[in-house]
């Protein structure tokens, strides 16, 4: 997997992300860009405890993306 200058090299682990957390995510179609979206986590979707691109979540508005940073 190619990592670029926009990716967070150490995204938050699953244990740090809970429903209600304020986060910055990157959607799949925006990988490799700096087009992040801020939102509130509705559901944590990733089964594993970590992922190189970030834990996959669904935001309250329905957006699905990988958490790059906690906004809190």
Domains (range + CATH), the chain: 14-70 (2.30.30)
Give percent of the chain above pLDDT 70.
90
| CA-based nearest residue to 54, from 20, 72, 41 | 41
Burial class (CB in 10 A: 0-12, 13-18, 19+), 12: middle
Please determine, for residue 25, whether its predicted confidence score (pLDDT) is greater than 60.
yes
Please determine, for residue 2, whether its predicted confidence score (pLDDT) is greater than 60.
no
Looking at residue 34, what DSSP letter applies? S
- The pLDDT value given to residue 22: 98
Q: Could you count the other beta carbons within 10 Å of the beta carbon of residue 39?
A: 20
pTM of the predicted structure, to 2 decimals? 0.88
The string of pLDDT tens digits covering residues 36-63 is 999 999 999 999 998 888 999 999 999 9
């Amino acid at each position: 997997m190619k990592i670029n200058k926009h990716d967070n090299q150490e995204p938050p682990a699953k244990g740090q992300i809970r429903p209600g957390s304020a986060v910055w995510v990157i959607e799949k179609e925006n990988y490799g860009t700096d087009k992040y979206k801020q939102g509130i986590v509705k559901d944590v979707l990733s089964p594993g405890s970590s992922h190189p691109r970030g834990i996959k979540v669904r935001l309250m508005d329905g957006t699905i993306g990988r958490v790059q940073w906690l906004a809190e």
